[in-house]
Structure 1
Amino acid sequence: MKRTSLLAVAVILCVSGMAQSKKTANKTPKATSLLWEISGNGLTKSSYVLGTMHALCKKDFELKPKVAKALDAATRLYLEVDFTDPEEMDAMGKMMQSAKTISEQLNPQQTEAMRSALKLYNLTLEQADHYTIAGLYSLFALKAIDCPQEEIKMMELELIDRAVKDKKTVGGLEKIREQSNYLEQIYSWDDCIDLLKKGSRYKAASGAMVAAYKNEDLPALDHALKNPDFMSEKAEALLLTRRNNNWAGQMPGIMQKECTVFAVGAGHLWGTAGLLALLRRQGYQVKPVLDQGR
């Protein structure tokens, strides 16, 4: 598995899933869990949905016993994307690199602005010239993680390692190309330049996000993540609402067959447009799995 490519995609997923609408954020009862049990509505066995922060510094990373227990009970693991699929791994590389250079697509004014923004990442335009919009987005996302790349741990890799070791089925709710298409629809080159310039500000805000995540406090995480400086209404509609509805439409058929753990970005869980609410509307019982002693 290509760790560098996977890391880039992981941080894209992490940022793209980190906001909810201010209009809907506080209409779901307060809960303090990242792991939720799904039952009822004809299911013979419970399944689970786990909110992840795709990439964390090693010092902040923890796979809790309740998550390990859910994985042990499940026969299948579904991620946003199936990183065990060789075709998806190949698509990952293509998502980050383009045959058409950035220089060919920018006017002189944009070119100078891009050069200036890339200096913040110790890159020249010549070095980044074959990046796609998704590739540039990954630079912005990586800047938010406050540790060296070699100290970053990815929840997806940990979950996949456990699933493969136990000979469980691994699947994905969407394709890498779909995620790339969303980013291309949302962000122009001017948007990319603006995001790159905001990278240090996003890093400064990430501490509150990590703290809320470690406390398993979805409302607090939602509050920390829904910053309009980093998530436009269009981005929310495509990266969150549309994808949540797509996933909620697939999950019943998957759960009906076998006990499954669905692991998606924690930003997809909360609010009236979040997965928890969407599953409840379909008639499922969705309840938090709490740590022992809580």
Structure 2
Amino acid sequence: MKRKLILVAFIALFSVFNICAQLLWKVSGNGLTKPNYLFGTHHLIEKEQINNFDKILALAAQSDAVVGELDMSDILSMQTKIMQSAMMPGKNIKDMISTADYAIVDTELKQLLGAGLEQLGVLKPMMLQTLFVTTVYLKSQNLTKQPEAVDILFQKAARDNAKAVVGLETVEQQAAIMFDSLPFNRQAEVLVKSVKEKQKGIELLKRLNVAYLAGNLIEIAKIDKEDDDMTPAERRPIYEGRNLKWAGQLPVLFKKQSCFVAVGCMHLVGETGLIAQLKKAGFKVEPVILQ
């Protein structure tokens, strides 16, 4: 009897591990005639590091549509719109932080980017914070540029196979959430905290990379909660708000065509993540084990 209980416990543990250790999920049931797929992305990971990436890419190419956070077919236009949205016309960060903090941030940016707040201080602080955190991490790993986003590769595969590409939001909508959800003074506080605690940020990103490559959604959710640059309430529009909106959009898209959905891995986890929301909507969501 004891051996049987141990075996049952082992099988349960193995099942939990496999469910948690997945980035690729199949969405079916609830009247769907074709399977749909949900994949979590991470923009600091090279495609070569992702297990079975070619097979995942093939699933995207075979689907009727690839769905992403954005339609990334015109990168140059996207970058232009993002930079336009990131500007603070008539404002400068020097009016939002102390002289001492200004000096700290200015020095760090000059060392990191070759330009300080005299040139960059007109950017919204959350844009500067994103730029700072990403560049600090890349330099800590001796990387000269950010890896090519796999979202682009999925969408390219769709276009090459004459399939549809769908964006869940526009560049303007995403920029408004990222750069305008917080008052500028509060954004400046977040930037200063990120600069002062840059080593903590590097370590969190290292842990995130390890968890991502392991497909460990439990660890990814834990890391998200440990990131205290913003309060849970301040982070809500970035994750929960968008998840709930997308969870309303995706069933309509699923019923229209088979979809391969690729969004940031943080959008998969937790009670308000897309996995939980799609299950709540009546779909069967199960991990895909690729061999």
Structure 1 ranges of 4+ moved more than 6 A: none
- Report the structure number with the largest CA radius of gyration: 2
In the alignment, what sits opposite 2:12? none
Within the alignment, does 1:110 sit opposite 2:98 as a pair?
yes
In the alignment, what sits opposite 2:233? 234
User: What are the within-5 Å matches in structure 2 for residues 201-212 of structure 1?
Assistant: 201-212=200-211
Q: CA 1:207 to 1:191, structure 2 compared with 1: closer, same or farther past 3 Å?
A: closer
Counterpart-to-counterpart distance in 2, 1:291 and 1:282 = 26
Counterpart-to-counterpart distance in 2, 1:239 and 1:162 = 28
In the alignment, what sits opposite 2:90? 100
In the alignment, what sits opposite 2:5? none
Within the alignment, does 1:140 sit opposite 2:132 as a pair?
yes
In the alignment, what sits opposite 1:216? 215
Match for residue 25 of structure 2 among 36, 43, 47: 36
Q: Is 117-126 or 257-266 further displaced after alignment?
A: 117-126
Counterpart-to-counterpart distance in 2, 1:178 and 1:110 = 31
In the alignment, what sits opposite 2:8? none
Match for residue 73 of structure 1 among 59, 62, 68: 62
> 1:57 Cα shift?
5.0
> 1:144 Cα shift?
2.8
In the alignment, what sits opposite 1:276? 275
One-letter amino acid matched to 1:218: L
For the aligned residues, what is the CA RMSD?
Answer: 2.6
In the alignment, what sits opposite 1:21? none
Contact 2:82/2:175 (8 A) holds in 1: no
Q: CA 1:62 to 1:151, structure 2 compared with 1: closer, same or farther past 3 Å?
A: farther
Q: CA 1:134 to 1:179, structure 2 compared with 1: closer, same or farther past 3 Å?
A: farther
In the alignment, what sits opposite 2:45? 56
Counterpart-to-counterpart distance in 2, 1:158 and 1:172 = 14
Residues 81-128 of structure 1: per-residue CA shift (max 9 Å, x gap)? 11225764432221333433425x615x53541331232232421121
Contact 1:34/1:51 (8 A) holds in 2: yes
SS of residue in 2 equivalent to 1:55: coil
In the alignment, what sits opposite 1:90? 80
Contact 1:74/1:260 (8 A) holds in 2: yes
One-letter amino acid matched to 2:163: K
Counterpart-to-counterpart distance in 1, 2:195 and 2:25 = 35
Q: CA 1:196 to 1:100, structure 2 compared with 1: closer, same or farther past 3 Å?
A: farther
Task: Name the % identity.
Answer: 24
Match for residue 122 of structure 2 among 130, 141, 152: 130
Higher RCO (CA 8 Å, separation ≥ 6 residues):
1
In the alignment, what sits opposite 1:167? 162
Which runs of 5 or more residues in structure 1 are unaligned? 1-26
Contact 1:40/1:284 (8 A) holds in 2: yes
Contact 1:110/1:190 (8 A) holds in 2: no
Residues 171-230 of structure 1: per-residue CA shift (max 9 Å, x gap)? 211122223322322343222222232233211222221111111121122223321423
> 1:73 Cα shift?
2.2
In the alignment, what sits opposite 1:11? none
Contact 1:75/1:168 (8 A) holds in 2: yes
Which runs of 5 or more residues in structure 2 are unaligned? 1-15
**How many matched pairs?**
264
> 1:257 Cα shift?
0.9
> 1:282 Cα shift?
0.6
Q: CA 1:87 to 1:151, structure 2 compared with 1: closer, same or farther past 3 Å?
A: closer
Residues 19-77 of structure 1: per-residue CA shift (max 9 Å, x gap)? xxxxxxxx999421101111111111111110010232577456624412321320211
One-letter amino acid matched to 2:137: A
